[in-house]
Amino acid sequence: MKVRTRFAPSPTGYLHIGGLRTAAYAFALAKHNGGDFLLRLEDTDQKRLVPGSEEKIKGTLETFGLNWDEYYVQSQRLELYQKAARELVKSGHAYETEGAIKLKIPEGETVSYRDFVFREEISWNTNDVFEPVILKSDGFPTYHLAVVVDDHEMGITHVLRGYDWMPSTPIHLLIYKYLGYELPQIGHLTDIQSPEGGKLSKRKGNVSVERHLDDGYLPEALLNFVVLLGWAPKDNREMFTLEEFVENFNENGFQKSNPRFVPDKLNWFNQQYLKKLSDEELAGKLTKFSAHSYEEILKLVPLVRDRLVTLRDFDSLTEYFFVRPEVPVENKKVLEHAISVLKKDFAGKILEEKARAFCAAKNIKVGEYFMALRVAVTGKTTTPPLWDIMQILGKDETLIRLDHARSKP
């Protein structure tokens, strides 16, 4: 049987980090087995609908290469759910109340399934299951009915979803049984923990995929980071493109313990993927994050690329190229000496040699000399090689800055 999986987000305005992980796993499970990956917008709770979500979710998934084979929108399928609800009423498994249809939950029965992520049998006593509304008075189904009808109608073979949905599963199991549907494989993914512990949530930080992209994380890095939150290969390999992840995917790689979102690890992945880009590719990506032109960016990329953690860092790392820095009072004798040398020869590297002789004569440390120069030119104490910075700034601008620092009262 062809493997068919789905990602079923609700249109809440953004894609959650955990949602990206679910989508990537569902995609890999399908594609590793030559199957289909479906996208289904679960928009039956019209009160929670955030306008623009549909396009945003689609655009975000495409950014990661998580392309779907089929696309469905639940609000366009109401008749199917209404028909199923009528069937359940007819067979005595649901009943109409004032304004809504509710599922009847039997007393003292056990419902169970084998979770393919946790690789264990999970069961409930129906006495612990509440009677849920399945169809509302406005003709819209609730999640419970819609998800079961759709997973059946769409031929989904593996349902993968967040751990949050586990309490709904006994309701779904009963609906499957009452409608005579074959049960798909069901798997619940572990909860991602926030850096300070507890479940990763909006209150505790940035959980939005779109915001991470806006913050200058590369999609490849974010995806690589996310797929290793709860899944691991047999070896300790860490670097996976989407294609490689699909190729190496194995259901047994799902881990049972909750993973932790470690921002430093995400930063590390981002740096690994930044390193893979050529100067031109990197400059191209930086244009979206920088106030400067592609040409200006490209000139500076070789100098600062190793210092970037995210694409957002570029403008602050290169600010002093564009804005003359405010500098503290520095060793004026050093600056005067440097000015006189650079005036005569800016292109050659005689400064180094002359500086050493000057320092020896005046009993100054060479490190101090160059620090005074560095601060006068950039306003910073740590920068890429000063020589390269001065060459990019050019003779005139370098001398103006040195002179400005020298003439500070």
Residues engaged in binding ligand GLU (CB under 6 A)? 8-10, 42, 147, 161-162, 165
Cβ proximity to ligand GLU, 155 vs 302, nearer residue: 155
Element (H, E) at 39: strand 36-41
Decide if 256 is catalytic: no
Closest CA to 70 of 165, 185, 140, 155: 155
Cβ proximity to ligand GLU, 37 vs 240, nearer residue: 37
Cβ proximity to ligand GLU, 163 vs 346, nearer residue: 163
Assigned token pair, 408: 């500070």
Cβ proximity to ligand GLU, 143 vs 370, nearer residue: 143
**DSSP 8-state class, residue 201:** -
CB of 165 to ligand GLU, least distance (A): 5
CB of 9 to ligand GLU, least distance (A): 5
Cβ proximity to ligand GLU, 38 vs 300, nearer residue: 38
CB of 42 to ligand GLU, least distance (A): 4
Q: How far is CA 68 from CA 25, 26, 91, 186, 373, in A?
A: 13, 11, 36, 20, 56
CB of 160 to ligand GLU, least distance (A): 7
> Side by side, which strands form the sheet with 70-73?
70-73, 36-41, 4-7, 158-162, 185-189, 110-115, 120-125
Tell me phi and psi for residue 215, to 5 degrees. -80, 0
CB of 63 to ligand GLU, least distance (A): 19
CB of 8 to ligand GLU, least distance (A): 4
Q: How far is CA 236 from CA 21, 259, 313, 370, in A?
A: 19, 16, 30, 44
Cβ proximity to ligand GLU, 162 vs 284, nearer residue: 162
Residues forming a β-bridge with 162: 189
- C-alpha span between 191 and 193 (Å, rounded): 6
DSSP 86-109: HHHHHTTSEEEETTEEEEPPPSS-
Pairing state between β 94-97 and 100-103: antiparallel
Amino acid at position 197, single letter: G
Task: Determine which one of 177, 202, 256, 275 is catalytic.
Answer: 202
Amino acid at position 368, single letter: E
Q: Return the percent helix, strand and coil in the chain, to nearest 5.
A: 50, 15, 35
Q: Find all residues with CB under 8 Å of 63, minimum gap 6, and list them.
A: 213, 219
Name the residues annotated as catalytic. 202
